[in-house]
Amino acid sequence: MVEWTEFERTTIQDIFSKMNYDVVGQQSLARCLIVYPWTQRYFGNFGNLYNAAAIMGNPMVAAHGKVVLHGLDRAVKNMDNIKATYAELSVLHSEKLHVDPDNFRLLGDCLTVVVAAQLGAAFTPEVQAAFQKFLAVVISSLRRQYQ
Amino acid sequence: MSLTAKDKDVVKAFWGKISSKADAIGQEALGRMLVVYPQTKIYFAHWPDYSLGSAQVNKHGKTVMRAITDAVGKMDDLIGGLSSLSDLHATTLRVDPGNFKILSHNILVTLAVHFPADFTAEVHVAVDKFLAALSAALADKYR
């Protein structure tokens, strides 16, 4: 089981409680599709992903970014049991969506950059470490069913 | 994943914007890396203080960032331009090249923290590509 320090718990709860999921979801997913264009392979039916402006303005990207963030929220609310919380999502991503699990880290990195931009100096190295540890646990749980 | 003419223009323009803060960015990126990826401390086992703001982190962060800024001017031939630095990293320092990606990530995070409006997705992809090309050039002499 993952051990969280008080600082890590508080930091994660604090970041997500203040977050606008709609904005951060849209920004993170759009950034992922722009910075790592091969991730567009999973969104063939999303219409115009032709360039950065199109991706940023695409309503399906925005809607899906929100879905992803709300999925992340489940881990925030169950920090002591992320593995079990994500069992179904793991199966979904591996069996149905066939997402290369390396892509989880790419989206995680984009989310980190978006949150860093939002928090500015408040995103200290220690806060970054806690946030990235949380994402690493989430990603590891999502990867579980791929074995 | 080679740098297009547009990538190079975007990187040069952005680097122009950040130039006054470049040293601080390098220092903070290095400091972040040592906290968020503690395994990287092994390369600095002789330092008395790894914390952000320490004399060692400040000096070395500045050194690294100046070399990166220098590489911005060498984007047309990174492998040639970074040849001696590659020798250094390969034969003397023997830094596992996986760590270049780690430091790059922390540079991106630091840029996002200090330039949230300017570090758009388009700048992000160009800078990420540049740092990846730089890392590959740095690893060129490894074997």
ipTM comes to: 0.93
**B31 chain-A contacts, CB cut-off 8 A:** 125
Q: Please list the helix, strand and coil fractions of chain B in percent, rounded to the nearest 5, in that order.
A: 75, 0, 25
Q: pLDDT digit string (tens) for B76-90?
A: 999 999 999 999 999
**A113 chain-B contacts, CB cut-off 8 A:** 108-109, 112, 119, 124
Please determine, for residue A145, whether its predicted confidence score (pLDDT) is greater than 90: no
Mean pLDDT, rounded, of chain B: 97
The total number of structural domains in chain A stands at 1
Q: pLDDT digit string (tens) for B41-78?
A: 999 999 999 999 999 999 999 999 999 999 999 999 99
Counting residues of chain B whose pLDDT is more than 70, the rounded percentage is 100
A88 in a structural domain: yes
A109 in a structural domain: yes
Cβ distance A52 to B112 less than 8 Å, yes or no, reads no
Please determine, for residue A1, whether its predicted confidence score (pLDDT) is greater than 90: no
Residue B143, token pair as written in the block: 């074997």
Using CB atoms, pick whichever of A30, A56, A117 lies closest to residue B119.
A117
Query: Which domains does chain B possess?
Result: 5-139 (1.10.490.10)
**A30 chain-B contacts, CB cut-off 8 A:** 121
Q: What's the CATH code of the domain at A47?
A: 1.10.490.10
CA distance B128 to B1: 11
- Which residue segment(s) compose the domain that A72 sits in? 11-143
A1 in a structural domain: no
CA distance A20 to B72: 36
CA distance B123 to B112: 10
- Chain-centroid distance of CA B106 in Å reads 8
Please determine, for residue A147, whether its predicted confidence score (pLDDT) is greater than 80: no
Distance from CA of A87 to the nearest CA of B (A): 27
Mean pLDDT of the region A81-97 = 94
CA-wise closest residue to A125 among B44, B106, B64, B114: B106
A113 in a structural domain: yes
CA distance A86 to A80: 12
